[in-house]
Chains A and B, each alone.
Chain A
């Protein structure tokens, strides 16, 4: 079974150079002698050595997967040389299988819960625990350096075990994780002396009232990246300041909202080498004793290398111009926690000519988006989040903003857009203007909303997107959609790997179009759509080639799910119920199914039935 491709940043370059240093090249004389002396096939161990030295340079996961399929020997050697392992679904295999196949892993990227769990569509304590993984790896990979977890339940004990088991541990990245607190972080900070990266991103971190910042070792640290903006606990600022001063390699720093603007100012003066800064709360504390306000702009001016800015929590808009000195260099700007009006926004964005990644709230309105379109010609990624995330909210952005962006930012690759009003025309325009689009996620927040100008369904708009954006790999649809939209997806969406559907479609045919027409489909998540047994059965030829299928509040019967489970023994079919398990319930509440090499998991909670 090959692991899946994912939008992955390339592995850190130091890992490769380390490999080169540690593995002495196999002497070529040995193999040459063998060639001359025998006309038979090479002894296996020689081939192995040669292969090892060749395969160690393979970095891409897909290349490695392909190489491992050549023959048994290649499979074995590839397993010896793979140092970075990606596991897209932690239940697709057991930790033992991982350690048996790959012997020298330095870096693990593990993903757990399905994405819809983020939106409360699944009861808590579903699973995806880090514990079995860390305990198995603690014995098998003493030289583990990097762990990157997404939507995994990590306990403080797990973190402690990690900190104690891996002396060379360098990078801990926890994205959308939960189950741990500041005490676990303290252990990692204290014990991992070679720690370079500690990134806590959108995770739930309980406040154990531990001063974890003070737990970093006293001498110069190797820290290059420290992100704790999701930690909802006050920080010992003095310790933080001291830490920053003794971390000469620190490039990325993301603070939480308990760090005030004045404190950020002091930090910046002491760390001008920063390239990425996430500010804390961006407001001036009027109760401070200083007579004069600190010159925030001067501090930013001193940071000539800052190219990425985020944070801006609790923003006081009048202080926003302080960032102007760095705007011209910015490639990434995240205003998505700041309620900024168009008037405040425009003077800032007009200086950001190099911007490539831009996240913001819809409070900047269509007007703000037009300003982005006018200035940011290098824009690659745009995400507009709703300030008021309710179905019947006002919705200050619309098709006008999106259309302007499509006309101004021709290099756009990734879009996430929350709005209340959209038209097919705007989507068609975007499909023509932005041929580089690989990710297109549009969320029209009011359910079943048609094109607000023509009153028609949004079929043609999304159809144009899948048809004209030939590189599209990820799609999320919304609004009023009939089966026709799905027919387009099946016909044109040949590269689509991830598809999110909600409140869309008329009949089983819609899902059938997608399952029969999209050969690269890996991740399918559907909610509240009228797809039933016929549709589910039509995809049985695909499910072993997919990472997972999620269908909640659809029209699937238990009988059909059982049939699928019986017909496909390597597919784990989970039916997740809610509390009032009505025996007479006609349809399955939630179906989550995924392939697995090691059978159904043993840690399923009570509300999960594995068929």
Chain B
């Protein structure tokens, strides 16, 4: 679990939330100075940023004028700020376990395909906007083509979401949520997202003892059907083997060796 990454997310969150007076935009490369930037929407800035990765971009902006976008964003989606984050890294470094997940997860998805048919109908009863489960092999685009366009997507939009959707349930909560595991880079991001989504605190994770300091315990079901504690296995393995998440509460949680 990388604290640095968490800090990065948090810092960018701060940056966006701090109101500043000016909307100004400075760019260093000479070849761009002649260009007129007519619209200052974030995605075009980001596209420029990603194509000239070794230049420094600074942006100050005010929330109220430039970003009506934010008013419609729900609180829980603030956690996953990748769509609005500016990166200084080289493009194409975002592929976590793309190749691996396709091979090892295709089986899980194959089983899930039949499930998903019934799921999409039950999802209509959920209050949150239902995002459909990604069916394996649909739409019928060859992985070769997907890969190529994917690297470009990572460059231009830096969006997560390669469709590793898992259900999340919490004991006592009225409805299920679905999250995309590929949006997160590690356990800290995932836990933060879960905490914000369900408004709880998981406490601190210790390798031997599990989660300390909370009556809630985040667990997941792996493809063998066993319920495991989130954080026990390396992140990549978790992403590939996790079938669904469940935030257990109270007495059940004791079985996972947590101190309440």
Contacts and interface: CB of A to CB of B under 8 A. Distances in A.
A118 B106 CA distance: 12
B117 A528 contact: yes
Given A286-B29, A388-B153, 12 more contacts: A120-B106, A120-B143, A121-B110, A124-B103, A202-B142, A336-B145, A339-B156, A385-B145, A386-B139, A387-B153, A502-B138, A528-B117
A74 B146 CA distance: 49
B144 A230 contact: yes
Nearest to A527: B137
Contacts of A249: none
B107 interface: yes
Interface in A118-138: 118-121, 123-124
Contacts of B63: none
Given A120-B106, A578-B110, A580-B111, A389 B146 contact: yes
A230 B143 CA distance: 12
B26 to A, nearest CB: 18
B135 A391 contact: yes
Interface string A108-124: 00000000101111011
Which of A230, A287, A316, A339 gathers most chain B CB within 10 Å? A339
B140 interface: yes
**How many B residues are at the interface, by size bracket?**
35 or more
Nearest to B225: A580
B110 A385 contact: no
Contacts of B138: 119, 391, 445, 447, 502-503
Interface in A460-504: 502-503
Nearest to B108: A579
A299 to B, nearest CB: 20
A385 B51 contact: no
A603 interface: no
B167 interface: no
Nearest to B131: A392
Contacts of B144: 176, 202, 204, 230
B141 A121 contact: no
Interface in B116-172: 117, 131-132, 134-146, 148-149, 151-153, 155-156, 161, 163
B113 A528 contact: yes
A227 interface: no
A283 B155 CA distance: 13
A225 to B, nearest CB: 20
B24 interface: no
19 contacts: A119-B143, A120-B102, A120-B136, A123-B107, A176-B142, A286-B29, A337-B149, A361-B149, A385-B141, A385-B145, A389-B139, A391-B135, A392-B132, A418-B139, A418-B141, A443-B139, A447-B132, A528-B135, A553-B113
Residues of A contacting B: mostly: loop
Contacts of A315: 152
B5 interface: no
A421 interface: no
B107 A283 contact: no
Interface of A: 116, 118-121, 123-124, 176, 202, 204, 230, 283, 286-287, 313-316, 336-337, 339, 361, 385-392, 418, 443, 445-447, 502-503, 527-528, 553, 578-580, 589
Nearest to A577: B110
A316 B51 contact: yes
Given A314-B152, A337-B148, A528-B113, A447 B51 contact: no
A141 to B, nearest CB: 31
Top 9 A-B pairs ranked by shortest CB distance?
Answer: A119-B137, A389-B141, A445-B139, A578-B110, A120-B106, A121-B137, A579-B107, A118-B142, A119-B140
Given A120-B136, A283-B51, A392-B131, A339 B152 contact: yes
Contacts of A121: 110, 136-137
B124 to A, nearest CB: 13
A391 B136 CA distance: 11
A352 B14 CA distance: 49
Nearest to B117: A528
A578 B137 CA distance: 15
B114 interface: yes
Nearest to B144: A202
B152 to A, nearest CB: 6
A418 B149 CA distance: 15
A130 to B, nearest CB: 19
Contacts of A447: 132, 135, 138
Q: For B107, B138, B149, which residue has the most chain A Cβ atoms within 10 angstroms? A: B138
B8 interface: no
A313 B103 CA distance: 25
A502 B136 CA distance: 12
Contact of B111 (A118, A386, A387, A578): A578
Contact of B134 (A391, A503, A527): A391
B142 to A, nearest CB: 5
A502 to B, nearest CB: 7
Contact of A390 (B109, B134, B136): B134
B254 interface: no
Contact of A386 (B29, B52, B141, B161): B141
A385 B141 CA distance: 8
A316 B48 CA distance: 10
Nearest to B155: A314
A502 B148 contact: no
Contacts of B137: 116, 119-121, 527
Nearest to B145: A385
A553 B137 CA distance: 12
A176 B143 CA distance: 11
Given A314-B155, A388-B153, A286 B140 contact: no
A525 to B, nearest CB: 10
Contacts of A392: 131-132
A415 to B, nearest CB: 15
Nearest to A336: B145
Contacts of A361: 149
A93 to B, nearest CB: 28
Contacts of A445: 138-139
A241 to B, nearest CB: 25
A578 B142 CA distance: 20
B62 to A, nearest CB: 27
Contacts of A314: 151-152, 155
